[in-house]
Structure 1
């Protein structure tokens, strides 16, 4: 679990080192809302928002900070801690019907 105050820098650092095809799952403390980020290319990420809103984004690393800032405000408005799970090698099937952790 990471503090919401330092979550942005921690997640961006993890995404910079993330190998292609791997994913990170960010969830609230109660695990009822999530933001799933998968690296699809050298500078491209697939972001799936699942919580108050359901949406999907294709973003380069340069636009990730702005997107994460808005997603943190929408999905984790009152959270002080964020759970970060490293999913390892994840393909398209992992985004569709994933289990609740």
Structure 2
């Protein structure tokens, strides 16, 4: 579990260290809303929002990723204090 205050920092730290095509998933405590980040290339990411709205942000660079995560934090997790955190590895 991750504190909501650390959401953006943990997400950015993790996506830099995962392999290409791996994903990082964040869910609310009730697991009814989620944000999933997929690394598609070095420095390029796809973000999918599944909760209040369903939206996909494609081909984001690191700077755009940080801005998008801050936006999604306010929108998807407005009253959350803790988030479930999971790394989804692709099978080779």
Fold equivalence (TM over 0.5)? yes
TM-score (norm 2): 0.92
Corresponding residue of 1:86: 87
- Equivalences for residues 28-47 of structure 1 within 5 A: 28-47=28-47
Q: Following TM superposition, by how much is the alpha carbon of 1:20 offset from its aligned partner in structure 2, in angstroms?
A: 0.4
What is the root-mean-square deviation of aligned Cα atoms in Å? 1.1
Moved over 3 A (4+): none
Q: Following TM superposition, by how much is the alpha carbon of 1:8 offset from its aligned partner in structure 2, in angstroms?
A: 1.4
1:19 aligned onto 2:19:
yes
Q: Following TM superposition, by how much is the alpha carbon of 1:74 offset from its aligned partner in structure 2, in angstroms?
A: 0.6
Provide the C-alpha distance between the structure 2 equivalents of 1:68 and 1:53, rounded to a whole number of angstroms.
14
Q: Following TM superposition, by how much is the alpha carbon of 1:23 offset from its aligned partner in structure 2, in angstroms?
A: 0.3
Q: How many residues align?
A: 90
Provide the C-alpha distance between the structure 2 equivalents of 1:51 and 1:36, rounded to a whole number of angstroms.
11
- Equivalences for residues 60-99 of structure 1 within 5 A: 60-89=61-90
Q: Which runs of 5+ in 2 are unaligned?
A: none
